Chains A and B, each alone.
Chain A
Amino acid sequence: MFSSSEETELRQVTELYGKVKELILFCEENHEEFKSNLHEVKELRDAFDHLMRIFAVKLGVKEEKNEEYLKINMEKVFGHVYRAGYDTLDYATLILRDKINKEVSGFSHSAIQAAIPTYYSEIRPAVESITSDIIKLRNDKDVANRSPEVFDKYFQNVKNLHKMFDAILKTKPALIEFTNKRKKEQLNDTLVKIAIGIIIGIALAIIGKIFI
């Protein structure tokens, strides 16, 4: 039913869809309120519509004389799946950024540095760079252009962000322990200072009694 070039294109779009679906499921399960994004649903619905136009011609349900019809619709299928994909990459990146931020905010810089030595040298610059890259890409009007390599690069970036988030989760006990230890040390310091103050006060009172 399909020529070999058509089959190759269908395989490419199917593989792309698999990645987009993985991202959508990740977003739905990881957003703090488990929200899905209707815009991605719309893009996939439109992709499905163009795919059905191709099937309608191939199966003889629709009569089509324009030779470019199949090619145009295949382009549209790719365009919509890519748009859904880049929107979902954006969503996944922001979910992970938000999660990482919430895990580390509230802790001091010294606690973060001690518990996660790579946070300031690797993790934070990577989060900022991945976020700004995906924002630039999403603002680019040619987002629907076919480029599996570019999409894969950003897909991999999201996976890397996920690994960083997991690494932060693993170090969270150390982060809490460091903060508690520091608080204890500060409390001890304060108690020692108070004790010294009291001792000096008593000593001064005794000296005052003796000499006055």
Chain B
Amino acid sequence: MVKVESVWDKDFGEIIVDREKTKKFSYRYRGSMRMTMGLFFSNNEYEHWRKKVLSEKMP
């Protein structure tokens, strides 16, 4: 364990999630239903969806 005093000014890292693993181990997880079902965008997925929506021309 890191000493409490030295922990305060440390930053958290990036959130990296493997959707398949999240779903696979969902039976051991008691948190958000959305996460358990893989209903989230990682950064790359969001950018991909964003480009798709913007490329669709409106009538």
Residues of A within 8 A of B (CB): 28, 33-39, 41-42, 45-46, 49, 53, 56, 62-63, 90-91, 94, 97-98, 100-101, 104-105, 107, 109, 112, 124, 127-128, 131, 135
A-B contacts, 9 of them at CB < 8 A, read A35-B39, A36-B34, A39-B43, A39-B46, A45-B15, A56-B8, A62-B5, A94-B50, A100-B58
Q: How far is the CA of A157 from the CA of B56 in the complex (A)?
A: 21
Contact A36 B41 (CB under 8 A): yes
Residues of A within 8 A of B46 (CB): 37, 39, 91
Within 8 Å of chain A (Cβ to Cβ): is B9? Answer: yes
Contact B39 A107 (CB under 8 A): no
Contact B54 A131 (CB under 8 A): yes
What is the size, in residues, of chain B's interface with A at 8 Å between Cβ atoms? Answer: 22
Residues of A within 8 A of B9 (CB): 53
Residues of B within 8 A of A107 (CB): 59
Contact A35 B40 (CB under 8 A): yes
- The residue that B53 contacts in the complex, of A39, A63, A98, A112, with Cβ under 8 A, is A98
